[in-house]
Structure formats: structure tokens, C-alpha cells
Structure 1
Amino acid sequence: MLARPAAHLTSAALRIGGLPQVRLDPPDPATAREFDRFTADNVDRSAHTTTVRPPGDLAVYLRWLAAHRDVLFHGTKQADLGELHTKRLTSDVTDFGAQQAVFASDDPIWAMYFALLRRGDTFGSTRNGSLAAVGTEPCRRRYFLSVNHGHEPALDPGWLYVLPRKGFRSERPWYGVLDTAHWVSEVAVRPMVRMAVGLEDFPLADAVGRHSRDESLARTLWNARR
């Protein structure tokens, strides 16, 4: 487990870096009980992939769900997935991200970005990440989200799938200290439920930047600062 001083130093470095966070008020006790009842009735007992809409604010519910159930999240434009397969249709610059696997995240906010990301004729690339010191709470995560210049709009409605965590493994922390919220399964996965996601549900809808093909990642990160 990461030593507390190292976690503090990593969190401080991310804070100084200025990347945006998503701070959401946790549900009050009555809302949390409503979330639990909804989840018990509609998620825990799901026998096949159904479409559900939880009560209240979607992002608040998803963070609650991530903390109270052993689940992961997968964002996509496809509304009819009964099973997620390991064939990867996009590329990634990291070895972990370039695997033939089912990809998911324990951070629902980051997964929402992939639900909303529009891949049309003008789409070239996206640079994105969800970073936090190992062992810190979700509200301390920092984000960078960017698509290539000329791709308008960057986002439109999509779908978020809730997956069982069993069978997935997480990416090793970068440099031993940075948690990337990135998980993979080498076998196909049957989702538990799916949820429609709109721009109004996404707390970072106004934080998606633009980059050019020859722009360095350092410049993209600098431009993402708040």
C-alpha cells in the first residue's frame, strides 16, 4: 500500500498541476437509502442487460454506486450490447490501453466521457485521463479531456454500461503512485444494466479541450488546467 507521505505528495503535485476535478455533494441519508433500494431492485437482481434510470442526479448516483457495489463502468455509443467482447476497434499509445480486451473504469465520471465522445468523420484522436494518488477518495481525481481541432461537436448522447468487477484487473499505478482508474478483462463480459447519458449529466461537459496533431501531450495538459 502506498505510504501516506507519498500519497500526500502526489495529491499535492496534481493539485498544483491545476487539472479539473469533479466535486459532488454526497447524497443525504434519505437519498442514499433511495439509491440502495433502486440498486437492489434494478441492478443487483438484473438477469439480463436492461435500461434503467436511477433517481436523482446521475453523476451523484454513479459515484455512490462505485463506492457501494463491486462494479465497473464502460461508456459507448452502442445501445444494444448484450455482451462486451475483447476485440478492440480503436488504438492507444500505452501498452495497457492497446490490448485486445474489454476496457472499463472504476471511475464513472471518466467512463461517461466515452459514452458521450462523438467519433464522426472529423474525429482524429482524443487525449484523456483520470488520475489520482493511489488510495485517495474519488473527489480528488484530476481529469484531462481533449479531442482534435475541427471535430464539432465533441460530445453527443451515449450509453453507460455497469459491469461486474469480477474477472477484471487494474492497470499498475504509474510510477508506483498514480492510479489511472483503468481496468481490463481478457474475456467477454455481460453487462448488468445500461443507462442513457446526456451532456446535461456530465459534470465536465465544458472542460473538453482541443489539440492539434503535432501538439505535445505536455501542451494538452497545460491547456486543460483550470
Structure 2
Amino acid sequence: MLSYMMQKLFYRSPSVEMDIEQEQYFENLLNHMRLYPHKPITATLRYPKHHFLHYLSHQLDVVFHGSNHIDIERFEPREQTLYNGQWTKSVFATTDPIWPMFYAVLDRAKVQGSFRNGCLVHKKKRYHFYSLNPSTMRSSPWTCGMLYILPKASFTMAGKGKLRFDEWVSSVPVKPIGRIQIHPEDFFFIDKISTHEDHESLAKTWLCYKKRTAGRSK
């Protein structure tokens, strides 16, 4: 029942299939990243960037963090809220390759009021939703940002249970082991951003999400 509801409300993560040629291309890119961890990958890749991040997630024990700030050398724990509103002093990240791209390309300086988003996990499947209020949407709030690859060792899952946000936290500082430049067109769900009013309940945003984004290209 829960799986059916998730499919009705949200979008599943896209499947990623790789041939030997693509894997070799990504292995060469990974070796370059290992040699120059502080140098961002800025070139246009031969394949979608979320494919490369998917490959990294299977080759390395890592998590991802997206940001408008392009030159972060070390992430420090800071006061912020978890998905459930509980306060914590942590570095935030996720094991999902796509969700942090939203935070990389959303220009936070143009956000007016609320924005809602998430990657939920149920039975090892991931489900996405993204929504901005009308004022933010009208401001053309997209920019070029950075996605950071972080070692997973100090991170723990923020949530538990059969359904949870793919949110991970670290209570200690973390240094990136790689970084990749993200453009709006790299974000897989850029055409699946819905619009909600600030006074609208989260439940309504969820219930209306797919209807509001129906008929778009992805």
C-alpha cells in the first residue's frame, strides 16, 4: 500500500544502466578526481552527470552535498533543522545523487518564502518531489552551483523506519574528496518543479505534486 501511494504522489529516481565504455569513461574521471580532489570537474561530460555520481556511489563510500558556494574547503557543523523540524548541529548530506543537485542550482538569494523538496526512501527505492512558491518561481531562481563528494565515514542516517528522507548528518567537520560543477540542465527533475502557496499544507503539496507537473518532458 505504501509503495503504491509513493508511486502515485512522487517521481521515482531514474534507472541508470551502464555499458563497459561508459564505466571506463567514469573510471578515468574518478582517477582524475583522486589525483586532484580540490579541482572541480567543470567540463561537459559525455554522459549525464547523475550517471557519474551514481557510478561514484557504487565505487566509493560517499555522500553528496549541493551548494551555491563553489569553493568550500571544509564543511563545519551548523545549527539547522532535520526533515522533522528537530534542531541539530550537523553537516547535512545524502546518498542520493540527484537530490543535492537541486540545492546546487537553486539560487538561494532568490528564494522568497517557502520551498519544499525531498528524496524519500522506501524498500530501497527513492522518490522525489520539488516545489517552489510563485514569487520564487517568477524570479528565475536557477544558477550554476557545486556538488561536493564527501566521505561517508562520519555520517549517520537522520531518520529511521520503513519510509524516511535520505538525509545523513555528521557532527564533525568534513573535507570534500571531490567536487563537480552542476548546471540547471544537469538536474534531472528541472522540468518537474511544482508551485505551491506559502499557506498551503505540506499534505496538499504532496497530493497535488504530480498533477501540477503532469505533461512535462520527463
Give yes or no for TM over 0.5.
yes
1-structure distance, mates of 2:90, 2:81: 12
2-structure distance, mates of 1:189, 1:122: 27
Partner of 1:3: none
Deviation of 1:210 after TM superposition, in Å, equals 1.7
Which is richer in strand? Answer: 2
Equivalent position amino acid for 1:153 in 2 = S
Provide structure 1 residue ranges, at least 5 long, that are not aligned to the other structure: 1-8
Contact kept? 1:35, 1:55, Cα under 8 Å: no
Contact kept? 2:78, 2:91, Cα under 8 Å: yes
Identity of aligned residues (%): 28
Partner of 2:149: 162
Deviation of 1:20 after TM superposition, in Å, equals 1.6
Out of 109, 113, 136, the position equivalent to 1:124 is 113
Equivalent position amino acid for 2:167 in 1 = H
Aligned length: 207
Residue-by-residue CA offset, 1:5-56 (whole Å, 9 max, x unaligned): xxxx5323312x23122324412122112212321x233445x522124552
2-structure distance, mates of 1:182, 1:93: 8
2:133 maps to 1:141: no
**TM-score between the two structures when normalised by the length of structure 2:** 0.86
**TM-score between the two structures when normalised by the length of structure 1:** 0.83
Secondary structure of the residue aligned to 1:219 is: helix
Partner of 1:50: 39
Cα 1:146–1:94, aligned 2, differ >3 Å: closer, same or farther? Answer: same
Residue-by-residue CA offset, 1:45-90 (whole Å, 9 max, x unaligned): 45x52212455220111112112210000000001100011124x6
Q: CA RMSD in A?
A: 2.0
Partner of 2:53: 62
Partner of 1:183: 168
Contact kept? 1:21, 1:142, Cα under 8 Å: yes
Partner of 2:84: 94
Provide structure 2 residue ranges, at least 5 long, that are not aligned to the other structure: none
1-structure distance, mates of 2:164, 2:13: 16
Secondary structure of the residue aligned to 1:99 is: strand
